[in-house]
């Protein structure tokens, strides 16, 4: 289980990995296969299951923390503020509220689906996809008027969907292998987002570019900054209005509001990231061969005269799958000792880290150091919302670590440090 406390050792057998039953995935006795297997035909059916590509890393359950920023519409008689909102130019119009959330998140993946056939036409042969279902839930832990740090966490996002790996095709369309995310959220938006370029793999930590949350005029690149983006302005339409305690804690700063991806870079401080895989998916098509897009319910789309209430027009998300290496100390414990759960050292203040199971076969009478590796998921996502004549970037970022205890392989035994 992930924890934020100091390293600990448990000498009793560990319990089963904890999980959130509301966000878990279980589809018993289901495995996708082609119906052609029922026929005495010569149609090729791939065996074993098609590749998952980079999605191989999306196994099991992950949890962590991050940041969410969203300019949301404010209707007449809508959100009220404890501090006066002074209408002095250049003030933010009353139709929007900037909501900032410090978040905790769970992202759970189910078992691979198997061989999902898509039928080609004419010269384009059949292709076979594979993928994993997912459930994502995000809580706000920062805003006292909605629960948060001074109360119980409050849910702000729930999403179900499937990540699929698409094989390369050469005829119709001629595309390299890619991944696609197909998701749905309760607000009334569905997404179909395909990768824009092949997965990039580098040695060492990820290179995370800046992201800008400043709104801009629809169909233009003209940016319109708002007072709510200034951390020291406590009389602007923003939740929370007064960010003093967050500035002091370093959790919401001007640097973070200027570039929310700062949260991701801060989360990587002190970590030994030995490899990073990067891919980006988007609902915005870059070529005629790429499909995808967003779909919204009528309330979000609005009317031709009044315009949208808040229509999600595009979504782009970059994921970094990081391999993190750390050294843990396994204390000596001779005989037929039970399993022990040892937490990885904290790389930085407030970080979440996984715990490791040490099998009895690795127990020794003397203390040892062990080098272990685990997978972490980071993402930066921007959903562009259209309302009031502007496009409002809705930016979410998070760093997630495995929630299950990870086994220490026998090959990872380090040198004995205590005789």
Average pLDDT per 10 consecutive residues for the chain, totaling 419 residues: 38 39 61 60 67 94 97 83 66 75 96 92 90 96 57 88 93 90 96 90 97 96 94 92 95 98 97 97 81 93 92 96 92 65 88 86 72 96 96 98 89 53
Q: Give φ, ψ of 190 to 5 degrees.
A: -120, 150
3-state SS class at 299: helix
What pLDDT does residue 12 have?
Answer: 37
Nearest alpha-carbon partner for 197 in 324, 316, 58: 316
Residue 313 CA from chain centroid, whole number: 20
Residues 6+ apart with CB under 8 A from 103: 65, 66, 67, 68, 138, 139, 140, 141, 142, 156, 396, 398
User: Could you give all domains of the chain from N- to C-terminal order, each with its CATH number?
Assistant: 9-14+54-416 (2.40.128.20)
The pLDDT score that the predictor gives to residue 181 is: 97
> pLDDT at position 162, please?
97
Query: How many whole angstroms separate alpha carbon 248 and alpha carbon 254?
Result: 12
The CA distance from 58 to 39, in Å, is 34
pLDDT value for 17: 39
What's residue 18's pLDDT? Answer: 39
Q: Which residue has the tokens 């979410």?
A: 396
Note every long-range contact of 87-95, with CB atoms under 8 Å and residues 24 or more positions apart, other chains counting. Answer: 90/227, 91/227, 91/236, 92/226, 92/227, 92/228, 92/236, 92/237, 93/388, 94/237, 95/387, 95/388
Q: Are strands 61-73 and 390-402 parallel, antiparallel or unpaired?
A: antiparallel
Q: What residue ranges in 121-242 does DSSP mark as E strands?
A: 127-140, 154-166, 178-185, 189-195, 200-203, 216-217, 238-239
């Amino acid at each position: 289980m992930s924890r934020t406390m100091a390293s600990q050792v448990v000498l009793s057998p560990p319990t089963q990995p904890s999980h959130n039953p509301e966000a878990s995935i279980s589809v018993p006795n289901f495995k996708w296969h082609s119906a052609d297997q029922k026929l005495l035909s010569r149609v090729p059916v791939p065996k074993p299951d098609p590749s998952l590509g980079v999605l191989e890393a999306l196994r099991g359950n992950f949890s962590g923390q991050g940041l969410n920023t969203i300019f949301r519409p404010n209707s007449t008689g809508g959100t009220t503020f404890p501090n006066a909102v002074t209408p002095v130019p250049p003030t933010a119009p009353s139709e929007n509220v900037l909501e900032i959330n410090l978040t905790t998140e769970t992202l759970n993946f189910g078992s691979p689906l198997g061989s999902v056939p898509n039928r080609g036409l004419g010269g384009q042969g059949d292709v076979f996809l594979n993928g994993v279902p997912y459930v994502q839930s995000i809580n706000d832990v920062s805003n006292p008027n909605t629960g948060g740090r001074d109360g119980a966490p409050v849910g702000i996002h729930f999403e179900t969907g499937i990540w699929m790996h698409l094989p390369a095709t050469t005829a119709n369309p001629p595309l390299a292998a890619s991944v696609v995310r197909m998701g749905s959220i309760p607000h009334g938006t569905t997404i179909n987002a395909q990768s824009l370029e092949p997965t990039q793999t580098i040695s060492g930590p990820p290179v995370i570019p800046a992201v800008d949350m400043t709104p801009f005029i629809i169909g233009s690149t003209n940016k319109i900054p708002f007072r709510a983006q200034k951390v020291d302005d406590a009389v602007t339409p923003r939740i929370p209005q007064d960010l003093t305690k967050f500035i002091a804690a370093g959790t919401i700063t001007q640097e973070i509001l200027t570039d929310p991806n700062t949260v991701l870079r801060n989360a990587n401080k002190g970590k030994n990231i030995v490899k990073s895989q990067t891919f980006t998916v988007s609902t915005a098509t870059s070529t005629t061969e790429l499909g995808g897009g967003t779909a919204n319910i009528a309330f979000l789309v609005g009317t031709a005269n009044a315009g949208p209430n808040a229509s999600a027009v595009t979504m782009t998300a970059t994921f970094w799958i990081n391999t993190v290496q750390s050294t843990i100390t396994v204390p000596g414990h001779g005989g037929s000792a039970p399993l022990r759960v040892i937490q990885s050292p904290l790389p930085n203040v407030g970080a979440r880290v996984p715990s490791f199971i040490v099998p009895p076969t690795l127990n020794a009478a003397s203390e040892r150091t062990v080098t272990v590796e685990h997978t972490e998921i980071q993402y930066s996502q921007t959903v562009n919302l259209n309302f009031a004549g502007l496009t409002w970037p809705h930016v979410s970022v998070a760093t997630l670590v495995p929630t299950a205890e990870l086994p220490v392989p026998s090959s990872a035994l380090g040198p004995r440090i205590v005789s």
